[in-house]
């Protein structure tokens, strides 16, 4: 079934949607993106994603092609035109199309593309019941991971390394400590304390992370934002990841070492419930 996608001001059937071969997103990965979940036809944490998009664009001296209000309208229109109940909206802004040159071109219009991905039952994933098995890999990405760019080749390779070992995902390690998952933020739980890497240029400032830490504090759970090693993680009581598409997802094994009893932990399960419940309440 063909989707209706959005490209530079137009809603088109996906076969009709086109981007130039000179687009800098294609030639230089000169673009940023966001992924917003849709549950029950409503957008989860749209405001957070719009704010981070503005920040990513600012860091790369790119202009936003539309206002936040226009962006919300485009998201809603895509949900409507595609009858999207549960799934994702992917958004990408690139610097635009120009003759190939490393220097940023002047006066070029940014490219804006959005499309939907239907994922029926997204919030009821059976994976949440069994949890993820992860491996650790060195973090060899560039130093501005706080900018949500479309340079995703290493995370893609990381997922393939995990798959080759029969596992689900990889946690990346730099200078002896965990930065984040290939496409998610990483957490461990020890003696009831939730520990996750502090913010900086080394990790993406997850929108789900911000919400989950807020909900955890509101529920009187103890949160520590600091680095932790893979050894500390393997000795943890439980672990989990967060992302806009996975919400809160338990991790039950790291580098072949089962955590706790090898089943999703109670803190992870509770946070997943709270996150889904609270986010649905304020979905747009």
- Residues 23, 18: Cα–Cα separation, whole Å: 11
Answer yes or no whether residue 136 interacts with ligand PMP by CB under 6 A. no
**Closer residue to ligand PMP (CB): 116 or 185:** 185
Check residue 126 and give left, alpha or beta (phi > 0: left; psi -120 to 50: alpha): alpha
- Distance between CA atoms of residues 187 and 111, nearest Å: 35
Both tokens of residue 233? 């993680």
Residue with token string 């992302």: 243
Q: Provide, rounded to whole angstroms, the least separation between the CB of residue 163 and ligand PMP.
A: 17
Nearest to ligand PMP of 100, 144 (CB atom): 144
134 Cβ contact partners less than 8 Å away, ≥ 6 residues apart = 162, 167, 168, 169, 170, 171, 181, 251, 253, 254, 255
Instruction: Select from 94, 242, 268, 279 the one that contacts ligand PMP (CB under 6 A).
Output: 242
In the range 160-199, which residues lie near ligand PMP by CB under 6 A? 180, 183-185
- Does 272 interact with ligand PMP (rule: CB under 6 A)? no
Angstrom CA distances, 44 to 13, 155, 181, stand at 25, 24, 21
Q: Measured from the CB of residue 20, what is the shortest distance to ligand PMP in angstroms?
A: 25
Contacts with ligand PMP, 54-93, as mask; x by CB under 6 A: ----------------------------------------
The reply on whether position 116 binds ligand PMP by CB under 6 A is no
How many angstroms separate the CA atoms of 51 and 44, rounded? 14
Catalytic annotation, pick one of 16, 51, 119, 148: 148
β-strands 238-243, 222-225: how paired? Answer: unpaired
Q: Which of 116, 243, 268, 279 binds ligand PMP (CB under 6 A)?
A: 243
The nearer residue to ligand PMP, 4 or 248, going by C-beta atoms, is 248
Whole-number Å distance between alpha carbons of 59 and 82: 33
The verdict on whether 148 is a catalytic residue reads: yes
- In the shown chain, the binding pattern of residues 202 to 241 toward ligand PMP, with x for contact by CB under 6 A and - for none, equals --x-xxxx--------------------------------
The residue ranges that bind ligand PMP (CB under 6 A) are: 35, 180, 183-185, 204, 206-209, 242-244
């Amino acid at each position: 079934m063909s989707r209706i996608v959005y490209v530079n001001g137009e809603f088109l059937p996906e076969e009709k949607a086109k981007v130039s071969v000179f687009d800098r997103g294609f030639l230089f990965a000169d673009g940023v993106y966001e992924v917003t979940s849709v549950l029950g036809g409503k957008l989860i944490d749209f405001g957070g994603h719009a704010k981070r998009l503005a920040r990513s664009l600012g860091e790369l001296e790119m202009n936003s092609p539309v206002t936040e209000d226009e962006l919300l309208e485009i998201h809603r229109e895509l949900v409507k035109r595609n009858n999207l109940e549960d799934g994702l909206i992917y958004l990408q802004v690139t610097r635009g199309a120009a003759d190939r040159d490393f220097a940023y071109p002047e006066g070029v219009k940014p490219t804006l593309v959005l499309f939907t991905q239907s994922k029926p039952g997204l919030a009821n994933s059976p994976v949440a019941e069994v949890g993820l098995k992860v491996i650790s890999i060195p973090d060899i990405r560039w130093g501005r991971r706080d900018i949500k760019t479309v340079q995703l080749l290493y995370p893609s390779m990381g997922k393939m390394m995990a798959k080759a070992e029969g596992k689900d995902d990889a946690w990346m390690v730099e200078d002896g400590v965990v930065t984040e998952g290939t496409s998610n933020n990483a957490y461990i739980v020890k003696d009831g304390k939730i520990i996750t890497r502090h913010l900086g240029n080394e990790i993406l400032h997850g929108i789900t992370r911000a919400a989950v830490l807020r909900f955890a504090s509101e529920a009187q759970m103890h949160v520590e934002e600091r680095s932790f090693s893979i050894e500390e993680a393997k000795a943890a009581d439980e672990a989990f990841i967060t992302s806009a598409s996975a919400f809160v997802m338990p991790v039950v094994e790291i580098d072949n070492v089962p955590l706790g009893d090898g089943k999703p932990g109670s803190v992870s399960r509770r946070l997943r419930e709270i996150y889904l419940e609270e986010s649905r309440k304020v979905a747009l």
